[in-house]
Amino acid sequence: MKTLLKTILIAPFALLVLGLALANRSAITISLDPLALFDPPLIFTVPLFLPILLSLILGVLLGGIAMWFSEGRHRRAAKIHLRDLERQRRETEELRREKNLPPLPPSTMIG
């Protein structure tokens, strides 16, 4: 099911990117030296779609990294809560053993 959903979502995007690449095949010159106007030492001639796609990929990567850093406090809070939950489960089991009560069912059977 997951694979089918991924295919349904990714296939139109891949076709869109392919269409963008085919429509923008003309060559452009990229100069990496902003001070040399007439004879720049660092120039590249690439198809137009290449800088567009690289910019999109870089934007997605930087956005993902920024989101990962901004959600760090939530991951840390979840880890602390999970640790507290495990401690409380251990305490509950110890108290149930002391009182000779049957153990709790596994957490997959609850709720």
45 and 87 share a domain? Answer: no
Predicted confidence at residue 47, as pLDDT, reads 93
Cα four-point dihedral sign 37, 43, 47, 50: negative
Strand intervals (E) in the chain? 27-31, 43-47
60 and 82 share a domain? Answer: no
- Please answer whether residues 17 and 55 qualify as being in contact, where contact means their C-beta atoms are separated by less than 8 angstroms: no
Residue 43 domain boundaries: 1-70
36 and 82 share a domain? Answer: no
52 and 91 share a domain? Answer: no
Lowest mean pLDDT across 38-42, 62-66, 88-92:
38-42
In this predicted structure, the answer to whether residue 109 has a pLDDT above a threshold of 60 is: no
Average pLDDT over residues 41-69: 93
Indicate whether this model's pTM tops 0.85. no
Closest among 10, 13, 30 to 21, alpha carbons compared: 13
Q: Which residues pair with 27 in a beta bridge?
A: 47
Write out pLDDT tens, residues 15-54. 988 898 888 889 998 888 888 778 888 888 999 989 989 9
The Cα–Cα gap between 63 and 46 comes to 26
6 and 58 share a domain? Answer: yes
Name the pLDDT band for 85 (thresholds 50, 70, 90).
very high
Locate 9 and state its tokens: 């979502």
The Cα–Cα gap between 17 and 53 comes to 8
24 and 52 share a domain? Answer: yes
